[in-house]
Structure 1
Amino acid sequence: MDRPALLPGEIAHQHILGTYVALSYAVSYIGSVTTLELLHRRTGMRGWYNVSLLVGSAISMGSIAIWGMHFIGNRAIILDYGVESHQLIYNSSFTALSFFLPIVILLSAYMFIGTNEDVSKARVCVGGTIAGLAVVLMHYLGQFGILNYTSVYKIPFVMGSVIVAVVASNVALLIFFVLRSQWADVWWKRICCSFILAGAVSGMHWLATMGTSYRLRNAALPNGVLNKKQTVIVVGTLCLFTCTCLLAYAIVIGTKTRQMHTKVRKVTLSAVVFDPEGRLMVSTSGSLPTEVITDTLNSLLDQEFSREHPVFLWFYRVSRSWPSVKDSIFGMQQHLRTVEFRKLSTEEQSNLNVIFRELLCVAVKKLSEQLRHPLEHIGALHHDILHTQPSARSQVSTPIAASSDVENPQRVANGRGQTLFMYRQVSKEEAARLQSHGYRFASVKVAVDVVARSLQLRRDELTSHIQSMRESSGSESILEPGLHVGYFAVRANIDGGFDVLVQSLQPNLIPSVRLPIKALNDEMRLVIQSFHGMTLSVALRSLEDKIASSSGTEHTFLEELQSSIRTLTKAYPDSFWLDAIFSSVPVSLPCRPGNGDVEYSTAQMYIFRAIVPIHQREVSGGIEMSPFELFMTQQRTFSTSRDHEVFARQIHAEFSGLAERYLRMTKPALLSSRVASFIWPGSQRPSTAEKS
């Protein structure tokens, strides 16, 4: 049917191709999901890692989700019944400007939102509003660049498109950042947020298109203009490239996840780092920085690798004196390269212990390199070992077993592993540096679920250990100078040896309370000596009698002594304390220096001694049983202890000769002896090289 020719100044008839509408939304969704995935991986504002993710997210949203969607969407508009010369033609300058302008605006919006774990809804709303306006600005700037038509807008549709873009952008980004701050933004939730974000772009575009008419300017078709198919090919190629990069990234992350699951079946070492606010440092995937120590050596040791093992106790001391071993690690690495791990079963136990110690130190060295942190500041070893579970998903929330119970030892078998923890607290500057390297700091409450799954540990058990490390990462757990009264209780271990009763939050200290007295005079010492050998119940009755018959300074001292003992008894109300025997001989213990002039100090403690019945497994809150060997090791690791110097000399004597030996070793020849003798008849390999 013949139709009248469209003349300049007339409104063109238009209809929409549904195929291109669907294609435009798909393009917008690809850009949106890429944007949220990149934003999800950001950990801070500093560092090349974070800057590249920020720029990449702005480019993927601005160039693909907005710009690509707009131009593919406009190809769905058929004007003047499909007359070739009457289709939309764009100005190249405005097209380029509409490409870069939303990228710049979105970059500023994402920078304003920031990466804080404690999300600011106000900042997200401002950033979401800017992002929505960027969509609107790009759309109408692209429309302004049409050469052969003048766009005629209906104001209600313009206002509606602005509202749709701003509201939907705010909803999508607010949901995304709230979930991210709560470590609940799993992949399917990010996909749902991407649908909303893509809906903001597409909804705004098509609402504005429904309120737009096109008045013809001229029908001349300039040369060099991309036709409909060419536009789809260009934008489609850009989207395909983005999809490929995202898929490759997902494969890399998946590989790292599988590697993590393999790691936790072995003996591993994880870094637990806190910022000044007590938040936990994790990678973007929610796991702790982890290095493998060994996978088979622990099964060859003469006893289970636990916190009572000599190697663990040695490593505990090393972790509080890193300078003593720092210079020996290179020699350890050289030695381990010569070890044939398949033949370890033939080694003597002393050699196996040496190899295990070297593996521990080398793993710490690798962990410090992973964190880009000096070895001497990597932190201290936690006093306990956690055991991984065969199926973490089903057991993450299972009530914890008594991992410290001597009657229930847990061994590494059937795919289960052991995890050791190095912990420390960093300053604000160090936390910012770690964020620039791709790590995040999140509250323990919201991060522990992801960490427990990645390490295959029980959630409750891991939470209690992280809390213990958090308490220990602040000021040193050590006695204050002065006089103290304490309880020293032991319980026989059915496997041999003894366990000591210690404070739960300060496992290197026995239950004690400080007396409000700076020093004792001769009269006070005589009073204390009068209680020697008495049980607690008898001593308290004797104190009552002495207080009633005393006066002056002695009366005040006796009341303070009675108050301190009752305070200690109320804090740990166990029945076996009533039979505890008092010793009037003071014990000297390490303590915090009283002033800057005192390098090494001791505290004086008067002790009630008790034996906990072996059948009594439960004790009052705030105290727990700890292996005697571990407790004695902890007494040697205080910052004021002189044992650090002796320990450093022992390490140097043991490992310095080993390092020198393997540094002097002849490197293995690249050619066999027969080939070498054939090429160089006069040459011969040293006979001692293989033996060395």
Structure 2
Amino acid sequence: MNGPALRPGDIAHQSMEGVYVALSYAVSYVGSVTTLELLHRRTGSRGWYNWSLLIGSAISMGSIAIWGMHFIGNRAIILDYGTENHQLIYNSKFTALSFFLPIMVLLSAYLFIGADEEVSKVRVSIGGTTAGLAVVLMHYLGQFGISNYTSVYKVPFVIGSVIVAIVASNVALLIFFVLRSQWAGTWWKRVCCSFVLAGAVSGMHWLATVGTSYRLRNAALPNNTLDRKQTVIVVGTLCLFTCTCLLAYAIAIGAKARNMQSKIRKVTLSTVIFDPDGHLMVSTSGSLPTEVITDTLNVFLDQEFSREHPVFLWFYRASRSWVSVKDFMSGMQQHLRTIDLSKIGTADQSNLNVIFRELLCVAAKKLSEQLRQPVESLGVLYDEVLHTRHTRGRGSIPTGPSDVENLRKVANGRGQTLFVYQQVSKEEAARLQSHGYRFAGVKLAIDVVARSLQLPRDELMIHLQNMRDSSGPESILEPGVHIGFFAVRANIDGGFEVLVQSRQPNLIPSVQIPVHALADGMKLALQSFHGMTLSKVLEELGTFSTGSEETFLDDMRASFWALTKAYPDSFWMDAVFSSIPISMACRSGDDDLEHSTAQMFVFRSVVPIHQRELSDGIKLSPFEFFTTQQRTFSTSRDHEVFARQAHTEFSGLSERYLRVPKPAFLLPKLARFVRLSRRPTTAEKTLVENPFANIMISQAVDVHSAKTSMDAHELDSMRTTGAAVVVREVEEPTWVEEHFQLLMDRTRPT
């Protein structure tokens, strides 16, 4: 339909083309969802990773969601009944300015809001208001760039469009930033927020458009103008590019998810890192940094892989003394590249155990490289092995502790996960955030982490809480004199277990007597109770008096009663007292002392195997594992022995596989003479021919058959004496093994 001829100064008739109205909203939505996805991936305010995401989100919102939506939306406006030469034409300079200006405003808004998990609502409101004003600013700057018409505005519509832009932007950003820590993996919530954010842009635009009329100008058009076809091509190209990037991103995320699903069917090593506030470090997808150890665990196992397995015990010690093995990890990695793990047999279990150790160390090395930190800062190994539960359909693999065959069939759908954990400083947390990690509350992150590891949520929560509690100061005795319970119980599956503290499982139940050192009279008082049961000792303490030592006896009586109150199990009353002090590692109160010890007097007991109910303060720990824990205190001298054993085991591999070839600058005859003049020794030949030559497998003490020279005074060697500063090649028995032998000697038939 043609109307009267339009003359300069006349208001043009206008109508809308519905297809472009819908297309403009779609363009705004694409830009909005890209923006929120990029903002969601930010983990902090430092590092090129976070800055690239911040700039990318500002560009996506400013150029696609706002600028692209505006010009596609204006394409829907039909002026003067569709007369071709009377449609909107834009000044290219103002069009370019309207492109960059909102990007800069949005960049400042997102930068002001920040990327912390605990977002200030005031800061988000200010940032949301700024983002809304950026939408308004771009719209009216773009309108000012129309070359052939003058825009005529109705004030109520202008005010309404500003309110819509600010309110909708605030709602979308407030919901997104305040709750985003809960959204790792929940893409549909970001999709919903994107609808609101795109509605803020489109709502403002169309409300302003309804209140805008166009008066034809009389002036000649400038040369640098863009017609609506050219504008649509430019905007469409930008949108197509963004969609392509989103598609590539979705494919990459899908591949990452599939990779994680394959990892959980293998033996993996994951790192658990807490900041000083107890927040858990996760990747932007909500999972823990993880490396595969092996997918052929059944090749290496001669028994169930648990915290009682010799390789696990070795790695437990290695994680508390990374400096002992870090120099050999590159050699281990080179050695593993020469081995086809799928063709390894089980003829030589000692060699398989060494290879398994190498796999564990190499996984730790890769994990430290993934975190961009030295391996000695990786943390310590958690004392449990968790079994993943990959399910097919509704069925799941059973999880009974005796189901050894299923535990070994890792490649058939079920894997195992080991954890190393630590607590980092605020500075280190900020560095990790700059590399693309984020810290979230454990309760907020647990659902996504549990799904990614295929672990039960409640079970994983308990383990994470244990790791968080253990990541603080070391659980170790204070200097002084202690009274404790040492009790063992036979395990129905074989071996023995030790009763330990629930919250400090590397320590036996104990209390400290308020004395710094024992005088001769105090020692005599303790010796008088030797061989008595706890009930008898408490009875004697009610009447016993030694004059000047009466205060000490009162303190000891109070300590004994405190011990029975803290651990109110009836079987303690039959425990037998030993007056021979045990020298144990303790917290050093003097920085000049390299090592420090505490004295422990114990009541020994063998708990009946039918005793199942224990008080809340104690639990059972495998004997071999508890013994290993006694060697891993920070003040233990056993670290030196472990380092020498590790050097004996793996230095040959490093020398062989990391040997740097010497330059061949000698003449052939001279080179032959040098080789002949230095004939390799027998040991060197053996090392070259067999990389496992000279390997000294660390040996566990057989507590069932170990011989001892203890006399009637129970071990003079256990008396408190000054430790000689010597380098030991073989580890001495721990106090646990010695006292266990005493228990077995007493219970063994005559």
TM-score of the superposed pair, with normalisation by structure 1: 0.92
- 1:653 maps to 2:648: yes
In the TM superposition, what whole-angstrom CA distance separates every residue of 1:402-428 from its partner, at most 9, and x where no partner exists? x9x789997243411111111111111
Distance 2:393 2:126 in 1: 38
In the TM superposition, what whole-angstrom CA distance separates every residue of 1:439-492 from its partner, at most 9, and x where no partner exists? 001111111111111011111221111111112222111111100111111111
Between the aligned residues of both structures, percent identity stands at: 75
Match of 1:494 in 2: 492
What residue identity is the alignment partner of 1:364? A
Q: How does 1:235-246 map to 2 (within 5 A)?
A: 235-246=235-246
Q: How does 1:543-562 map to 2 (within 5 A)?
A: 543-546=541-544, 550=545, 553-562=548-557
What residue identity is the alignment partner of 1:411? L
Distance 2:28 2:615 in 1: 61
Deviation of 1:659 (Å): 2.6
Distance 2:23 2:604 in 1: 80
What residue identity is the alignment partner of 1:444? V
Distance 1:185 1:465 in 2: 22
Deviation of 1:183 (Å): 3.7
Contact 1:42 1:50 in 2 (8 A): yes
What residue identity is the alignment partner of 1:207? L
Distance 2:414 2:513 in 1: 47
Compared with structure 1, are the counterparts of its residues 224 and 96 closer, same or farther at alpha carbon in structure 2 (3 Å cutoff)? closer
Distance 1:691 1:611 in 2: 46
Deviation of 1:555 (Å): 3.3
Deviates more, 1:636-645 or 1:216-225: 216-225
- 1:425 maps to 2:423: yes
Q: How does 1:336-351 map to 2 (within 5 A)?
A: 336-351=336-351
Q: 598, 603, 624: which is aligned to 2:598?
A: 603
Distance 1:108 1:491 in 2: 65
Match of 1:520 in 2: 518
Match of 2:476 in 1: 478
Distance 2:3 2:351 in 1: 97
- Show structure 2 runs of 5+ residues with no match: 662-685, 692-750
Match of 2:26 in 1: 26
Contact 1:119 1:181 in 2 (8 A): no
Deviation of 1:264 (Å): 1.1
Q: How does 1:63-142 map to 2 (within 5 A)?
A: 63-142=63-142
Contact 1:492 1:498 in 2 (8 A): yes
Distance 1:185 1:497 in 2: 44
Match of 1:679 in 2: none
Distance 1:406 1:635 in 2: 28
Deviation of 1:313 (Å): 0.7
Deviates more, 1:113-122 or 1:575-584: 575-584
Deviates more, 1:446-455 or 1:656-665: 656-665
Compared with structure 1, are the counterparts of its residues 528 and 240 closer, same or farther at alpha carbon in structure 2 (3 Å cutoff)? same
Contact 2:147 2:221 in 1 (8 A): no
Q: How does 1:292-371 map to 2 (within 5 A)?
A: 292-371=292-371
What residue identity is the alignment partner of 1:505? R
- 1:453 maps to 2:448: no
- 1:510 maps to 2:508: yes
Deviates more, 1:163-172 or 1:597-606: 597-606
Query: Secondary structure at the residue paired with 2:62?
Result: helix
Match of 1:621 in 2: 616
Query: Secondary structure at the residue paired with 1:276?
Result: coil
Query: Secondary structure at the residue paired with 2:460?
Result: helix
How many pairs were matched up?
665
Deviates more, 1:414-423 or 1:564-573: 564-573
What residue identity is the alignment partner of 2:296? T
Distance 1:665 1:412 in 2: 39
Match of 1:144 in 2: 144
Deviation of 1:512 (Å): 1.0
Distance 2:159 2:185 in 1: 32
CA RMSD of aligned residues (A): 2.5
What residue identity is the alignment partner of 2:600? M
Query: Secondary structure at the residue paired with 1:545?
Result: coil
Deviation of 1:142 (Å): 0.9
Deviation of 1:540 (Å): 1.9
Deviation of 1:616 (Å): 2.7
- 1:249 maps to 2:249: yes
Contact 2:183 2:189 in 1 (8 A): no
Contact 2:275 2:429 in 1 (8 A): yes
Distance 1:604 1:664 in 2: 48
Contact 2:45 2:114 in 1 (8 A): yes
- 1:634 maps to 2:629: yes
Contact 2:88 2:228 in 1 (8 A): no
Deviation of 1:526 (Å): 2.1
Compared with structure 1, are the counterparts of its residues 530 and 497 closer, same or farther at alpha carbon in structure 2 (3 Å cutoff)? same
Contact 1:407 1:494 in 2 (8 A): no
Distance 1:347 1:237 in 2: 64
- 1:259 maps to 2:259: yes
Match of 1:682 in 2: none
Compared with structure 1, are the counterparts of its residues 45 and 194 closer, same or farther at alpha carbon in structure 2 (3 Å cutoff)? same
TM-score of the superposed pair, with normalisation by structure 2: 0.85
Distance 2:148 2:247 in 1: 40
What residue identity is the alignment partner of 2:74? N
Distance 1:628 1:299 in 2: 26
Q: How does 1:570-585 map to 2 (within 5 A)?
A: 570-585=565-580
- Show structure 1 runs of 5+ residues with no match: 667-687
Query: Secondary structure at the residue paired with 1:329?
Result: helix
Distance 1:407 1:592 in 2: 41
Deviates more, 1:11-20 or 1:554-563: 554-563
Distance 2:138 2:47 in 1: 30
In the TM superposition, what whole-angstrom CA distance separates every residue of 1:80-129 from its partner, at most 9, and x where no partner exists? 21222222222221111110000000001111111111122111111111
Distance 1:394 1:235 in 2: 48
